[in-house]
Amino acid sequence: MAGNTFGNLFKVTNWGESHGPAIGAVVDGCPSNLKISTTEIQKELNRRRPGQSEVSTPRKERDRVEILSGVLEGKTTGTPISLMIRNKDYKSEDYSTFTEIYRPGHADYTYKMKFGIRDPFGGGRSSARITAGHVAAGAIAKKYLNEKYNIQITGFVKKVKDISVDVDPLKVEPHVVENNIVRCPDPKIAKEMIKLIEDHKERGESVGGIIECCVKNVPVGLGEPVFSKLNADLAHAIMSINATKGFEIGDGFGVAELTGSQNNDEFTINENGTIKTKTNHAGGIYGGISSGMPLIFRVAFKPVPTIGKEQNTVNEKGEKVKLAAKGRHDPCVVPRAVPIVEAMTAITLMDHVLMHQSKQ
């Protein structure tokens, strides 16, 4: 599988660079006759777009999506859907000092070593800018999953640096998440997070955080044996997002401290006769296959590596230099990453739904 394409039956190919003419995605394998519009896709893109608040990059991009193929009279045709988002507000001159310098914590060095060439302007393919294509493709998957299975995907900011919120993910509602710019479901904690981000931004610093995601109404049986387990593919999708450094599902690393009897989810019967579990330590997956319980997972994001604070580094000649980066960068990517996490979750579930249907 090429490094720019994700999925088996529902395939998403991401293309474009941060400072190129446009970015986008090609979705192949979407069933026909799904009603979809640019308005629905745009709603998700607006949640990810830059310049939306004081805790995000000041780069101003409207991120207007264009559907170039695969949709006729508002319905998918079953053929590849090409989605394009034109870049407008890029300032390549801000990166002129980066052309021969390796930014600490960035992909400059690894890209140059792998390909023998790198795009210093916004980081090219290594930029989080390209995740707009993920979100556009994910909007299509979200629509299908919600219409066919009533699957609901809700992500929220659980932690920024050392400030966290303790909430039941099953009770978090999307409209509450969207009520503040940091996308934290607790308004009081949200204010503390915003102040922390702004304080670090003023000092030329950045901070990381954690996003938690809950998926309701997942059908039983999604996931393939051994190498295409649902949790494995979900981890693959989520860890493909820029700046991710950790993934855990259910109780995650916490299970290492439990006994078998504490960790096991006992089965019981619902009032309607369906099987469920009393607890959900497993996060909704057993043996790589969905159990019908909610999928619950968390993902850790590192601080943005491009910061204004002076750091020691080297240039391509191997000379020691100092770098205080200029340009427009998020002081914390976590708030804008919520729709990206939701999108990659939807793309993964969409792929597994289609694989499951093919075996029925």
What is the distance between the alpha carbons of residues 285 and 252, in angstroms, rounded to a whole number? 12
pLDDT in tens, 172-197: 999 999 999 999 999 999 999 999 99
pLDDT at res. 25: 98
Residues 160-172: pLDDT tens digits?
999 999 999 999 9
Least confidently predicted of 6-10, 91-95, 270-274: 91-95
- Looking only at the bridges linking them, the beta strands covering 320-323 and 311-314 are antiparallel
Sequence letter at residue 358: S
User: Does the pLDDT of residue 95 top 70, yes or no?
Assistant: no
Query: Mean pLDDT throughout 291-305?
Result: 97
In SS3 terms, 261-274 reads as HHHCCCEEECCCCC
State yes or no: pLDDT of 96 exceeds 70. no
Helix, strand, coil abundance in the chain, percent, nearest 5 = 35, 25, 45
pLDDT at 89 over 70: no
Question: DSSP letters of 105-170?
Answer: TSSHHHHHHHHS----STTGGGSGGGHHHHHHHHHHHHHHHHHHH--EEEEEEEEETTEE----GG
* Domain at 147, CATH number: 3.60.150.10
- Give me the pLDDT at residue 306, please: 87
| Nearest by Cα to 346 from 213, 212, 156, 169 | 213
pLDDT in tens, 129-159: 999 999 999 999 999 999 999 999 999 999 9
The residue range of the domain holding 269 is 5-357
Structure tokens belonging to residue 294: 């909610």
pLDDT at 278: 96
Residue type, 224: E
Helix (H) or strand (E) holding 6: strand 5-6
355 pLDDT above the threshold of 80:
yes
Interval 256-272 mean pLDDT: 95
Task: Provide the pLDDT confidence category of residue 336 given band limits of 50, 70 and 90.
Answer: very high
Q: Is residue 250 predicted with pLDDT exceeding 90?
A: yes
> 91 pLDDT band (50/70/90 cuts)?
low
Domain count along the chain: 1
Distance CA 332, CA 335 (A): 7
Rounded to two decimals, what is the model's pTM? 0.95
pLDDT of 61 over the 80 cut: no
Q: How far apart are CA 284 and CA 255, in angstroms?
A: 14
Averaged pLDDT, 280-298: 98
DSSP-based three-state secondary structure for 304: coil
Q: What is the mean pLDDT of residues 76-104?
A: 84
Task: Report the mean per-residue pLDDT for the chain.
Answer: 93
pLDDT band at 325 (very low <50, low <70, confident <90, very high): confident
Q: How many CB atoms lie within 10 A of CB 254?
A: 11
Which is more confident, 201 or 93?
A: 201
* The pLDDT of residue 48 is above 60: yes
Q: For the residues 33-62, what does the mean pLDDT come to?
A: 85
Residue 60 has pLDDT above 90, yes or no: no
Across 337-347, average pLDDT: 98
Give the distance, in angstroms, between the CA of residue 159 and the centroid of all CA atoms in the same chain: 16
Task: With a cut of 90, say whether residue 219 has pLDDT above it.
Answer: yes
